[in-house]
Structure 1
Amino acid sequence: MMSLPNAIVFAVLAGLALSCSDSGEDASIDRDTLSYKLKSIRNAAEFEENYKTALIGYYNKRLDQPVPVDVGGTAANEAEDVDSGNSSVSGTNLQELGVDEADRVKTDGQLLYVLNAPPAYTIAVDDVAETSLPTEPVVEQDTQSELGIFSLRSAEGDAEKLAALELTGLGIADGLFLHRTGPATRLAVTASSSGAYQPYWYDSSAWGGLSGSVTHVEVSDPYSPRVENSLKISGQIISTRRIGDHLLLASRFFPQIEGIHFWPESAAEKSANEARIRSLALTDLLPTYQYTSDTTERPLVAAEDCFVPESADALGYSVDVISLVSIDLKDLSLASSLCFVGATETFYASSQGIYLATSRYDWQFDDDGMADYAEPDVATDIHAFSVDNGQLSYAASGVVKGQLGWNVARRPFRLSEKDGFLRVVSFTAELEEDKSPVRLTVLARDGGELKTLASLPNERHPQPLGKPGEELYGSRFVGDRAYFVTFRVTDPLYVLDLSNPEQPFVAGELQIDGYSDYLHPLGETLLLGVGKDAIPDESGDQQRGAWYQGVKVSLIDVADPAAPAELQSVVIGKRGTESPVLRDHHAFTYLAGQAGGPDRFAIPLSVHDGAAAYEVDQSLPWAWHEWSHTGLHLFEIDINNRTLLPRGALKITTRESGNGMVSAEQDRSIVAGDSVFYIHGKRVYGALWETPEAINGPR
């Protein structure tokens, strides 16, 4: 067994469930047989009784469990939507066509809207050359959160800053949606009072008292942006999407209870907890919302519109109130809302529906309070919701074996809906030779259930997906195909044929060095992978696998799914090189070819290709190399000739000029015709595509 990475483990996770009924079943019950479906509440009184009972069980369960211990750790569909509506200007890189996602950069093709990222962290460099590049722009650190509006001068490869609006009192602003209503143009700014600090994700009480907001910023006059109104909700925003005029938001609420004993040490404290919880009013148990223009506090969701698990023994559920909310972006009015008691950490939306998913584990504790992850007893619950012109309704629930991974940004890419079928790829962490570490499940709605229609491996196709010890990295569903990458020593890219939902099968497999974290489809014949190169470990350590190196971009031929082939690859930098694309697909920018020209894409990179650090032999695969520059690297793809060509980089800071290392983690870019714009912090750098070294800016 192995410890769960990157989490503060709390003993209460083993049995948190809403007490809808009594059960004497053994806690080791096969989790896949539990009733994971949601059921509606008959009235507010039923919800109040059930939720209070669940809260009492949550707090008083802690008396019998160890104190939390930090266990540490290591470790689209067919096309992208273009928010500009302009085929000559790139937009936000999306998972699903027609489903917009929040990002810190938006454009309409003429104007560029930039939500300032967290500060760019700079690390001092010793013994650098005294000379500096004369044309190199100076990179400064930012401390003030603001919204910047820029005019794009695409013919010149330059931008002009028109206005800046300081955003105060919103909390941590994390994304924008661009929306037009008649002549009015607005930005919806999403924010939360706290970042989603993952080590405490599984403890409900750690999230009490948090709030989120959606703020309208009127930008019809780009020279004079103004905050128009703000909707504030009680509860942490998990994720958002936009379909048409409606913003869809999932939030997590946990009631703050004064005088509660968080870790009761006696029966008396348990009794006091029960009495305190029983004294709460229903309004204390549900989230609320209010506007800055009208401070009246209103219920975000009615108790009658809430759902609970059918089984009180549905292991792994928390006692959060998860709200799904539809907000009309024309006026920030609440169009529809519902909630359920449980947990969710993954939000996936297609044009056909919304899916909220959470993974549940069977925790076992040793005498020291350490929690171990028992394989393979992990499952992911999925709740499906329908949305019709902004109106929400619960549809069905299902469960798949395995989990969706540790990377928050990758999780939605594990799901895909097509023709009413939900396809899910999950990671089971199986280590035995004849077991599969990856599993594909196809689910179909049947009444209130998402029933398993097919899965891989199966009796007809028993071969494992991945080798023992391999982990699931990049995944992408494209029409009737699924692509996913597993990795430990080499990168097996699997191509799955899903044309018959009842009979999926592995069509082909490709073994190449390294791995891909992000997969981008280029029509039906080409696939682009962005990840890391890797060198197999030859030390004899069976656990090591391989040593990752620089960032690798691969062009893969998938015209024949039975024989995928790597046509070309480019490796940028050496060990230590990083790109935000490996963690956030919004950092990847792609623009289809114009007037028969090549396709273009851009990747922000912090490149390490200097001497090996710490006086290590730089020929060794584990040698970490010194940082050399941070910038936006440009590439072209000739679709007809199937070639990949690097086109230079906008290097905004270099070691050679005496600067310290600057992260590219929050960086974005826009490709507009024959120009490219690089957004670093709140500053914009521009250049003509053919001459990226001639940088205009920062603006």
Structure 2
Amino acid sequence: MNALGIVVISVLGVIFAFVLYRMIVDIIWNKRLEKFHKTNENPVFKSPLRMLNLKRGMIGASTALLALVLVVTGVFDLSQTVLDVDTGKLKTLEYAKKAHSMEDILDKMNADDASYYYGPEAGNGALAPEEDLDGTTASQKSIVGTNNHVESVEESDTVKTDGDLIVFADQYNPDTLQLFEVDENGLLTKLAPIIFDKYYISSIFLTEDYIITIGMEFENMYTYYDQDHGIYSMAYVGWYPTLYQGKANVVSRDTHDIVYSIKTNGLIKAERLIDNNLYLIFNTYRQEASILPKFIEIKDDVEVESVLPFEDIFFFDQIPAYNLTTILSLNLNTFEYDAEAYLGVAEDIYVTKNAIYVSGYYYQEGIFFFDGGNKTHLVKFKLNTETGKVSYAASIVLSGYIENQFFMDEYQGHLRVATSIQWDAFEKNRLYVLEEDETTDKFYIVGLLQDGIGKPQERIMSVRFFENFAYIVTFRNTDPLYTIDLSDPANPVIINEIEEPGYSTYLHRFGDQQLIGIGYDESFGVKISAYLSENTSLPIETFYFKDDSPEYSWSYSQALNDHTKILVSPDLGFIGFAVSKTTYGNNQNTYSSAFYVFNINFEDEDIIKDPIIINHTGALYTYTVDKAVYIDGIFYTFSNLSVVSYNVSTSSIMQTVDLKS
């Protein structure tokens, strides 16, 4: 209880004690007076003290009841605090609360109805980063790898390389890592694969010492948790439920042995590598028998199990608790970890060098159509990459929803956030500029643009921030591409609008005012366009993947929904991605999958050059090209059947490595 609470309760206590004292004294003296009158045979008059004592009793009872209510409700409880791992100072919690027991967690989760929860559609609609290099080796090879969103924050991928080794996590063989050694001439030597038992790999990291796999471990369960009855039951004969648990393995590059593993009781939603710290974000859900985050570490064949303490779990009174989201930081030198968690909603993750932002989407019932609709709860955790510590920092509720991580951007002390509508004529697309309070867990809105972003009922399809500019694409029938000036954070201004049929789901900045966009044409086939972001109303050039033949054709690319599938380097002047095409005609279907590389030069008359097409041979629908990496003038493209290398200097296929042999 804080000082004000102590004073108020003390005053109420004194009033109650005084009233009680006066009632007792009056009763005693009234009894003595009655006895005196009877002894002296004096006439006895009705005393007004009974009514007075009744009033005093009511005052005393009300005072006691008020004090009890104040204590029980915690109105004057001491403010909870959290240590800011960046500044080392304490911050007062005004929005979040710390859990003290399992009862706190269960009460919060049981108090909320999850039936209103429906997250945004899968896919990133992403607008790309400027930094895209995996990094260079000591030999200073020219390498283009994972298309990272933020500089110095490495994202996981299905293909990783450092120029000497290429590691491929084939999604069609999720228990296997394919390894390739790159010689001085760029030729590949296929090494023995690493095969895991009862473990599916979703993505990987590659460091100087380790290959890090992110995935899930599974096992068939002979008993299962019956949610309806809250008990464990025997599985039916012939049917065994499968238990999936998120797991990260740290594998030695030299020996291919697993030197360390950490397993959770939830599924890993996102992961990042910053310096020598691995960050895992995973969810456990309200339906699970054990909601508390649990970690099982495996090192030298020894398992150590631990559970996150209650004081490291936060919740918010006004936010529904659909799941429990945990932020875990693992030091790859010492294999020590730190973690915090919160009850709420969690969908999209944006990570900078010093912070993790988690956004969640929920529906809030309004009062007479006011203050209701789609809401986004945004939560910030601060990171200290030197100590490996994680700490909750701030949160805010915004109108609308966030589609993906590219809707958020941190720049010069401000967080810029775009929120979209869901085809609702009464809603607006918005661009917020937020600033974190230094002493509490609040965000302040320092700037807001809520008019002019999209025409009626157009929702935001993609967002990209770069320094003082934001590029926002909206869509319903046409694709407006807005350029917004954010040089004055308190006064965002739209300075340009481009319209075209279809829309872009991905934009990449190639230079001052120069953008390349990948997206859908008006027939929902794949297209790539070049834009100038100021003083233009149309794209300056577009390449369509459809042809002029009478047959019906359809094209699709994973790059439309996953920015890591794009290989891009403005410095080297290219952008590439895999495209699958299906053509229907002459009573037959033709399917192909290839990697397309476009050379880009805004100084030439033809900005987008005709693509280099790197084909992979295969039977109908039995293969798909996944992605590529670039090392010293050679594109290495990967499918589930083969690796095809293309040499830029000779303009020819250099090598094909069969993955099925």
- Shorter-chain TM-score above 0.5: yes
Q: Does 1:37 align with 2:44?
A: no
Equivalent in the alignment of 1:689: 648
Which residues in structure 2 correspond to 1:353-364 (within 5 Å)? Answer: 353-362=355-364
Equivalent residue number for residue 649 of structure 1: 613
Q: For residues 590 and 394 of structure 1, what CA distance do their matches in structure 2 show?
A: 34
Q: 1:631 aligns with which of 574, 590, 594?
A: 594
Give runs of aligned pairs for residues 580-619 of structure 1, distance below 5 A. 580-593=558-571, 599-611=573-585
Q: Which has the larger radius of gyration?
A: 2
Find the aligned partners of 1:374 and 1:609 in 2 and give their Cα distance: 50
Amino acid at match of 1:79: E
Aligned partners of 2:354, 2:121: CA distance in 1, in Å?
37
Letter in 2 for 1:250: I
| Long gaps (5+) in structure 1 | 1-19, 24-34, 120-142, 196-202, 259-282, 365-372, 406-410, 458-462, 535-547, 615-625
1:475 aligns with 2:504: no
After TM superposition, which residue ranges in structure 1, 4 or more long, deviate above 6 angstroms? Answer: 20-23, 68-75, 255-258, 373-376
Q: 1:674 offset after TM fit, Å?
A: 2.1
Q: Secondary structure at the match of 2:215?
A: strand
Map of 2:21 onto structure 1: none
Question: Once the 2 structures are TM-superposed, how far is the Cα of residue 294 of structure 1 from its aligned partner?
Answer: 5.0
Listed as ranges, the matches of 1:96-107 within 5 Å are 96-107=150-161
Q: 1:662 to 1:531 in 2, by over 3 A?
A: farther
In structure 2, the CA distance between the partners of 1:87 and 1:399, relative to structure 1 (3 Å rule), is farther
Would you say the 8 A contact 1:602–1:634 is kept in 2? yes
| Aligned counterparts, 1:538-553, within 5 A | 548-553=523-528
| Counterpart amino acid of residue 380 in structure 1 | T
1:230 and 2:282 matched: no
Partner of 2:491: 503
Alpha-carbon distance in 1 for matches of 2:299, 2:646? 41
Provide the C-alpha distance between the structure 2 equivalents of 1:47 and 1:591, rounded to a whole number of angstroms: 51
2:350 aligns with 348
The equivalent residue for 1:191 is: 215
Residue 429 of structure 1 contacts residue 437 of structure 1 at CA under 8 Å; is this kept in 2?
no
Cα distance between partner residues in 1 of 2:422 and 2:291: 40
Are 2:432 and 1:441 aligned?
A: yes
Is 1:456 the equivalent of 2:441? no
Per chain length, whose mean CA-contact separation is higher, i.e. which structure has more relative contact order (CA < 8 Å, sep 6+)?
1
Q: Does 1:661 align with 2:635?
A: no
Give the distance between the partners of 1:553 and 1:231, measured in 2 at CA: 41
1:623 corresponds to: none
Task: After TM superposition, give the deviation of residue 80 of structure 1 in Å.
Answer: 2.4
| Mapped contact 1:509–1:563 kept (Cα < 8 A) | yes
CA contact (8 A) 1:634 1:648 kept: yes
CA distance in 1, matches of 2:540, 2:148: 25
Distance 1:72 1:689, change over 3 A: closer
Please say if residues 279 and 329 of structure 2, whose CA atoms lie closer than 8 Å, have aligned partners that are also in contact: yes
Is 1:247 matched with 2:251? no
The aligned residue for residue 302 of structure 1 is 309
User: Residue 630 of structure 2 is aligned with which of 662, 671, 674?
Assistant: 671
Shift in Å at residue 586 of structure 1?
A: 0.8
Cα deviations by residue, 1:208-257 (Å, 9 ceiling, x for unpaired): 9642111011113xxx5232221112211111111111011111124777
- Which of 401, 404, 407 aligns to 2:399? It is 401
CA deviation map 1:182-213 (0-9, x unaligned) = xxx20111112479xxxxxxx999x9964211
Consecutive unaligned residues in structure 2, runs of 5 or more: 1-70, 75-92, 220-226, 231-240, 548-552
Q: Distance in 2 between matches of 1:74 and 1:150?
A: 32
**Alpha-carbon spacing, 1:498–1:210, altered in 2? closer, same or farther (3 Å):** same
Secondary structure at the aligned position of 2:297 is classed as strand
Please show how residues 58-207 of structure 1 align to structure 2 within 5 Å. Answer: 76-84=128-136, 86=140, 88-117=142-171, 119=172, 143=173, 145-153=175-183, 155=185, 158-170=187-199, 172-180=200-208, 185-193=209-217
Assess, with a 3 A threshold, how the Cα gap between structure 1 residues 653 and 297 changes in structure 2: closer, same or farther.
Answer: same
The 1:363–1:289 alpha-carbon spacing in structure 2 relative to 1, beyond 3 Å, is farther
The CA distance in 2 between the partners of 1:107 and 1:628, in whole Å, is 30
- The one-letter code sitting in structure 2 at the alignment partner of 1:325 is L
Aligned equivalent of 2:414, options 407, 417, 421: 421
Equivalent residue pairs, number? 534
Contact map agreement 1:588 1:668 (CA 8 A) in 2: yes
Q: Is the CA contact (8 Å cut-off) linking 1:555 and 1:568 kept in structure 2?
A: yes
Distance 1:297 1:593, change over 3 A: closer
- Cα offset, 1:430, TM superposition: 5.3
Once the two structures are superposed, residues 97-137 of structure 1 have per-residue CA deviations (whole angstroms, 9 ceiling, x without a partner) of 111101111000121111121x2xxxxxxxxxxxxxxxxxx
Task: Name the structure 2 match of 1:328.
Answer: 331
CA drift of 1:160 comes to: 2.0
- In structure 2, the CA distance between the partners of 1:254 and 1:647, relative to structure 1 (3 Å rule), is closer
What is the 5 A alignment of 1:21-60?
37-41=95-99, 46-57=100-111
Q: CA deviation at 1:660?
A: 0.8
Which of 245, 248, 258 is residue 214 of structure 1 equivalent to? 248
C-alpha distance after superposition, 1:66-102 (max 9, x if no partner): xx99999999544224244556210210111111101
- RMSD of Structure 2 on Structure 1 (CA): 3.6
- Cα distance in 1 for residues equivalent to 2:569 and 2:288: 51
Q: Secondary structure at 2:525's aligned position in 1?
A: strand
Contact 1:648 1:693 in 2 (8 A): no
Tell me if the contact between 2:117 and 2:361 (Cα under 8 Å) persists in the aligned partners.
no
3-state DSSP class of the match of 2:600? strand
Given residue 243 of structure 1, which amino acid in structure 2 is its aligned partner?
Answer: I
Summarize the Cα distance change of 1:168–1:649 in structure 2 as closer, same or farther, 3 Å threshold.
Answer: same
CA distance in 2, matches of 1:466, 1:378: 18
Contact 1:154–1:674 under 8 Å retained in 2: no
What is aligned with 2:544? 571
How many Å separate the matches in 2 of 1:245 and 1:212?
Answer: 21
Q: SS of 1:694's equivalent?
A: strand
Is the Cα–Cα contact under 8 Å of residues 300 and 337 in structure 1 kept in the other structure? no
How big is the shift at 1:164?
Answer: 1.0
8 A contact 1:99–1:350 mirrored in 2: yes
Q: Secondary structure at the match of 1:644?
A: coil
* Matching of residue 316 in structure 1 with residue 320 in structure 2: yes
SS at match of 2:521: strand
Alpha-carbon distance change, 497 to 440 in structure 1, aligned in 2, over 3 angstroms? same
Give me the whole-angstrom Cα distance separating, in 1, the residues matched to 2:107 and 2:638: 50
Q: How far apart in 1 are the matches of 2:101 and 2:378?
A: 22
Looking at structure 1, the residues matched to 109 and 574 of structure 2 have their Cα atoms a distance apart, in angstroms, of: 53
Give the SS at the match of 1:645. Answer: coil
Amino acid at match of 1:39: K
Output the TM-score relative to the length of structure 2: 0.73
Q: Say whether 1:380 aligns with 2:414.
A: no
How far apart are residue 342 of structure 1 and its match?
1.7
- Structure 2 vs 1, CA of residues 456 and 236 (structure 1 numbering), >3 Å: closer, same or farther? same
Report the residue type matching 1:606 in the other structure.
Answer: S
Q: 1:109 to 1:362 in 2, by over 3 A?
A: same
Secondary structure of 1:52's aligned partner:
helix
Q: CA deviation at 1:573?
A: 2.7
Name the amino acid aligned to 1:429: Q
